[in-house]
Amino acid sequence: GEWTGELVQRHRNGDTIEVEGRWTLVRGEDGSPQSILAINTDISQRKANEREIQRLAFYDALTGLPNRMLLMDRMHQALATAQRRQQGGALLFIDLDNFKQLNDTLGHDQGDLLLQQVAQRLNTCVRAVDTVARLGGDEFVVMLEELSPKPHELAMYARSVGEKILTMLAVPYALAGYQYRSTPSIGIAPFTGEFTGELASVGELLKQADLAMYQAKTAGRNTLRFFDPDMQAVVTARAALEADLRSALAQDEFLLHFQPQMRHTGQCVGVEALVRWAHPQRGMVSPAQFIPLAEETGLILPLGRWVLHNACQQLASWQKDPALAHLTMAVNVSSRQFRHASFVDDVARVLAITGAPSGQLKLELTESVLVEDMETTIATMEALRSYGVGFSLDDFGTGYSSLSYLKRMPLDQLKIDQSFVRDLLTDPNDAAIVDTIIGLSRSLGLEVIAEGVESTEQRELLARAGCQLYQGYLFSRPLSVDLLDAFLRTPAA
């Protein structure tokens, strides 16, 4: 019997050494095992050389990044993993604009320096699970993994990384004693587990990203393009909307509509302010389309301030008319806006500037605000409440707030989400939920209002269940200032 193999042994001085062992069993004359003849050869140096060869084979010598071979290997694995776990990913093909010019004018040494700095910057743009590789020349590839397989989310995430790379690589480089500017063109090829498991697919994916990169070059460089035209369309439309949204505030394209809130006796008790965007080309854009984008981009902060200011101006103007002076004004507040450090001061300032009666201002929050950071939320609400401002919990029943949260919040009102009201007559579950919410509000000592009330049947069912405040098309759609004025001056039937 003979055994050969490689072992890691500990040297007397504590170092580990790699050895190749060749062990032979020595038998006595009767054939029974007597001893083992072991010949161990130190192969540490040979192993180090092998590792070096490995490094040279799989890593780029100039930047230390994985090379094309290792990238292809990881792409195989990534596609298999994406398939197994139902995940998405994306390949970003990055090519520096005008790199040849730099090489020709400043020399290859400076070109090498630039490539090294680009490699370092790319590494700061990705997470640990992602791969940054250099294909050769001025071509780099970033592979993103473990993403959502939903096309829209996948596209948005890949775009955000692509834009980060555009920003990072555009920062001037210190080369040959001066500030050198360089930009990249980026092609993006997203993939999901559905990307066929054929052997050809890895090469195919790389080709897609490469093609998209050429489209970015054609489009004028320093930009990114998606291989998938549908994804490109999503991203382009969204980028256009974002740019429009930025200028809309300056151009004064927003306005407020107001939807009356009614008591069961037929009087109007107040209104909810709903923002509208009168876009010069698109027409009226629904807040459902631009509020999420405004939240993502941070534009919700100036927009929210604008809404608050204009709603409070309206509220203040009613004070001059005894017939309208009792009306309340409900204003929607996004989580990001509510969480902003200056929110309490902003509200206080707007109240002071407009002279609106703070006791008639009601801020509508959603359950997400309550859940995110309860202590801070309570502190912010208490601070606002000390000015007299009230709170309504919007879309109630769709979120996750527990009873213990509700008890601690200084709330005034629960607003039954319109999805429950919609199916009140047909879905016994919804009827039961509405009953529960009304019972809950009573036991917590809160007011309750139902939104999305469209029919008299719904109103009657709600009234029987004990809900006495309503908002919905049955009474009025959201109205412009002028139409609201007419509505308020029409005596209740």
> In the bound complex, what is the minimum distance in angstroms from residue 392's beta carbon to Ca ion?
8
- Considering the rule CB under 6 A, would residue 334 count as an interface residue with ligand C2E? yes
- Separation of alpha carbons 83 and 88, rounded Å: 9
Q: Which does 274 bind (CB under 5 to 8 A by kind): ligand C2E, Ca ion, none?
A: ligand C2E
Cα–Cα distances in angstroms (integers) from residue 92 to residues 59, 166, 205, in the given order: 19, 12, 10
Which tokens go with 124? Answer: 């700061």
- Considering the rule CB under 6 A, would residue 275 count as an interface residue with ligand C2E? yes
- Considering the rule CB under 6 A, would residue 287 count as an interface residue with ligand C2E? yes
Which contacts qualify for 127-133: CB closer than 8 Å, 24 or more apart? 131/66, 131/71, 131/74, 131/78, 132/65, 132/66, 133/60, 133/65, 133/66, 133/67, 133/68, 133/70, 133/71, 133/74
Cα–Cα distances in angstroms (integers) from residue 426 to residues 44, 195, 404, 431, in the given order: 78, 43, 31, 8
> In the bound complex, what is the minimum distance in angstroms from residue 288's beta carbon to ligand C2E?
5
Which of these ranges, 79-87, 206-214, 429-437, 448-456, lies near ligand C2E under the rule CB under 6 A?
A: 448-456
Q: Which does 454 bind (CB under 5 to 8 A by kind): Ca ion, ligand C2E, none?
A: ligand C2E
- Considering the rule CB under 5 A, would residue 364 count as an interface residue with Ca ion? yes
- Considering the rule CB under 5 A, would residue 208 count as an interface residue with Ca ion? no
> In the bound complex, what is the minimum distance in angstroms from residue 284's beta carbon to Ca ion?
18
Integer distance in angstroms from the first to the last C-alpha of the chain? 106
Q: Which does 259 bind (CB under 5 to 8 A by kind): Ca ion, ligand C2E, none?
A: ligand C2E
Which of these ranges, 235-243, 329-337, 340-348, 352-360, lies near ligand C2E under the rule CB under 6 A?
A: 329-337
DSSP 205: H
Other Cβ atoms within 10 Å of 427 Cβ, number: 13
Centroid of chain to Cα 234: 15
103 backbone dihedrals φ, ψ, rounded to 5°: -60, -40
Residue 138 vs 394, nearer CB to ligand C2E? 394
DSSP 479: B
- Considering the rule CB under 6 A, would residue 332 count as an interface residue with ligand C2E? yes
Which residue's Cβ has the minimum distance to ligand C2E? 472
Cα–Cα distances in angstroms (integers) from residue 400 to residues 372, 403, 411, in the given order: 11, 10, 16
Dihedral sign of CA atoms 55, 57, 61, 64 in order: negative
The residue within the footprint of ligand C2E, chosen from 175, 212, 231, 307 (CB under 6 A), is 307
Residue 346 vs 454, nearer CB to ligand C2E? 454
- Considering the rule CB under 6 A, would residue 398 count as an interface residue with ligand C2E? no
Please name every residue paired with 254 in a beta bridge, in sequence order, or none if there are none. 277
> In the bound complex, what is the minimum distance in angstroms from residue 68's beta carbon to ligand C2E?
48
Contact 94, 162 (CB under 8 A): no
- Considering the rule CB under 6 A, would residue 395 count as an interface residue with ligand C2E? yes
Q: Which does 296 bind (CB under 5 to 8 A by kind): Ca ion, ligand C2E, none?
A: none
Q: Which does 267 bind (CB under 5 to 8 A by kind): Ca ion, ligand C2E, none?
A: none
Site string for Ca ion, 309-338 (x = CB under 5 A): -----------------------x------
Residue 106 vs 474, nearer CB to ligand C2E? 474
The residue within the footprint of Ca ion, chosen from 395, 423, 454, 485 (CB under 5 A), is 395
Which contacts qualify for 325-328: CB closer than 8 Å, 24 or more apart? 326/269, 326/360, 327/268, 327/269, 327/270, 327/271, 327/360, 327/488, 328/261, 328/269, 328/270, 328/271, 328/360, 328/361, 328/362, 328/390
How would you label 160-170 residue by residue, b for 16+ Cβ within 10 Å and e otherwise? ebbeebbeebe
The residue within the footprint of ligand C2E, chosen from 130, 145, 394, 430 (CB under 6 A), is 394
What is the residue-wise DSSP string for 401-436?
A: --HHHHHHS---EEEE-HHHHHTTTT-HHHHHHHHH
> In the bound complex, what is the minimum distance in angstroms from residue 451's beta carbon to ligand C2E?
6
| Sequence letter at residue 427 | D
Q: How many residues bind ligand C2E (CB under 6 A)?
A: 22
- Considering the rule CB under 6 A, would residue 476 count as an interface residue with ligand C2E? no
Site for ligand C2E, residues 417 to 446, rule: CB under 6 A = 418
Residue 144 vs 308, nearer CB to ligand C2E? 308
Q: Which does 162 bind (CB under 5 to 8 A by kind): Ca ion, ligand C2E, none?
A: none
Which of these ranges, 59-67, 82-90, 287-295, 433-441, lies near ligand C2E under the rule CB under 6 A?
A: 287-295
- Separation of alpha carbons 461 and 468, rounded Å: 11
- Considering the rule CB under 6 A, would residue 472 count as an interface residue with ligand C2E? yes
Contact 308, 300 (CB under 8 A): no
Contact 306, 291 (CB under 8 A): no
- Separation of alpha carbons 445 and 411, rounded Å: 9
Site for Ca ion, residues 132 to 161, rule: CB under 5 A = none
- Considering the rule CB under 6 A, would residue 3 count as an interface residue with ligand C2E? no
> In the bound complex, what is the minimum distance in angstroms from residue 311's beta carbon to ligand C2E?
8
Q: Which residues bind ligand C2E (CB under 6 A)?
A: 259, 274-275, 286-288, 291, 304, 307, 332-334, 394-395, 418, 451-454, 472-473, 478
